[in-house]
Amino acid sequence: MATNTTSATPDGTGAENSIRPSKKLRKENAASQPAAAPASSSGPEKPAQERAVPEEVRRRFVQVKNRYYFLDGARAFTDRGTRLTTSSENTEVVRSLIQIAEARGWSEVTVRGTERFRKEAWLAARLAGLDVHGYRPSEFEQGHLVRTLGRQSLAPAIDSLAAGDRPTPAEPDARAPEKRGGLLTGRLVDHGPAPYRHDPHEPMSYFVKLETGRGDRTIWGVDLERAFRQSLTQPQVGDEVGLRAVRQESVKVHTQKRDEAGELVERDLETHRNRWILEKSPFFEAREDAARTVLDTSIDPKQAVKNHPELVGTYLQVRAAELAAKQFRDPQDRERFVQQVRSALADAVARGEPLPAVRLRERSAERTPKAPDREAAPVRG
C-alpha cells in the first residue's frame, strides 16, 4: 500500500487531497498545444475543455469563483484548473472530481492525499475508465472493482427485464434485494471511524461499506464501532457479513448548526441512535436454525440444548414462562402466554441479539433435584 501524502490546505483545514492529469498526459497536452497567440487585454483564454465542469456537478454545489461549497457553506473542493483539491474524503466530492476529470479529457490521473481519499478516487476513476497513479490497490480491491464493473455491464440487461422480460427459472434474479427481514448482507469492503460522510466539517462517526448485489452501500452509525468490537465472529475485509439494526436507543447529542446569519450555534438535541449487530453471514444462518428449534415444541429441551448449547438461557426463560403461566386458570390462556413468550425469544435469537446470560446459580439449580412441590422462580432476562 502506498504511504499517505499530506500537506496543509490554504484554508488550514488539514490534509490536501488532489487529483490532476498524470505527468505523461500533461507533457502530451503541452506538446500538442499550438503556438500561443498574442495575449488579449483580458489575458489568455484557456480552451473550453480545460475549464469544463459537468452541469450535474454544478447543481450539487454552490460556486464562488474557483471554489465549490456545500449548501450549508462547508467547502467541498477547489478548482485550480489543472489540479482539483479538497480537504474532504466525502464520496460525493470524490465522484464529482472524477466527473470533472472525465469532462476535461484526463484519461490518466495522479491522486495525492490521505489513503482513504486515494482509495476512493482510485475506485471512482477506474470505474470511469481512467488510469490512476498514486494508489496501489490490494488484491481484494482489484476483485471488488472487477465485480462492480461486472454489475454495471449487466445493468442494460436488468433494465430490459424490468421493462417486461421475465428471467427463465435457471436465471438468478440479479435485482433481488440484499435486505431481507431487516438484515443487510454483503461483502465487507471497508470500515472505520471518520467524520460523518467523510466530511471534515461533520462530527466523528463510524462507517461500514458493503459490496452488495445492487452495488456498494455505506452505512453510518456511532454504535457500529461497538458492534465491531463486540462481534463474536470478528469479520475482516473481504468476508461476507450481515448487518442489522436491532433497536433504537434515546440519546442526547451535542450539535452545532448554522443559524440564518451563518453563525454556528451549539445545542443539545434529543434523538435516537441505532443499536447494531454485525457478524459473518454463517452466524445469522446458525441463529435462524436455532430460532426454528426454539419454536418447535416437539423438540425436547434437553436435546435442543445439546444441539445448541448457546440456547441454555433461552430455554430457562421458556421454563420460567411455563411456571408463570400457571396463574391462568384457562389452559388455552396458559398455552397462548407461553407461545407468545417462545415466539418473542425465537425472534430475538433469529435477529442475532445477545442471548440471555446464564448465571452460575441457574446452572446449579438445573442440576439439583427439586422437591415435587417446589418450583423455580421466573428468570428475568
Q: Who contacts 351 (Cβ-Cβ below 8 Å, separation ≥6)? A: 182, 244, 246, 277, 287
The answer to the question of residue 310 being in a domain is: yes
The answer to the question of residue 194 being in a domain is: yes
The answer to the question of residue 242 being in a domain is: yes
301/267 same-domain check:
no
The answer to the question of residue 305 being in a domain is: yes
197/256 same-domain check:
yes
21/119 same-domain check:
yes
Domain boundary among 282, 307, 339: 282
The answer to the question of residue 125 being in a domain is: yes
What single DSSP character describes residue 357?
P
The answer to the question of residue 164 being in a domain is: no
136-140 CB contacts, 8 Å cutoff, 24+ apart: 136/1, 136/2, 138/1, 140/237, 140/238
Residue-range definition of the domain harbouring residue 241: 179-282
The answer to the question of residue 244 being in a domain is: yes
For residue 357, the model assigns a pLDDT of: 77
Domain boundary among 282, 307, 332: 282
Give the residue from 185, 189, 191, 69 showing the smallest Cα distance to 137: 189
pTM of the model: 0.64
335/273 same-domain check:
no
First to last CA, the chain: 47
322/257 same-domain check:
no
Per-residue pLDDT 10s for the chain (381 aa) are 333 333 444 333 445 899 999 888 777 766 666 655 554 444 455 556 668 899 999 988 999 999 999 887 888 999 999 999 999 888 889 999 999 999 999 999 999 999 999 999 999 999 999 999 999 999 999 999 888 888 776 655 444 444 444 443 333 333 334 444 489 999 999 999 988 888 777 888 999 999 998 889 999 999 999 999 999 999 999 999 999 988 877 666 666 666 666 666 676 666 678 889 999 999 999 999 999 999 999 999 999 999 999 999 999 999 999 999 998 889 999 899 999 999 999 999 999 988 887 765 555 555 554 544 434 444 433
Q: How many domains does the chain have?
A: 3
307/357 same-domain check:
yes
CB neighbour class for 111 (10 Å; exposed up to 12, middle 13-18, buried from 19): buried
21/131 same-domain check:
yes
Sign of the C-alpha dihedral computed for residues 104, 60, 220 and 347 taken in this order: negative
Contact yes or no for 79/68 (Cβ under 8 A)? yes
232/335 same-domain check:
no
Distance CA 235, CA 324 (A): 40
The answer to the question of residue 37 being in a domain is: no
21/121 same-domain check:
yes
342/273 same-domain check:
no
CATH number of domain containing 240:
2.40.50.360
Which element (helix H / strand E) includes 307? helix 301-307
Instruction: Using alpha carbons only, give the angle 193, 195, 197 rounded to the nearest 5 degrees.
Output: 105
For residue 24, the model assigns a pLDDT of: 81
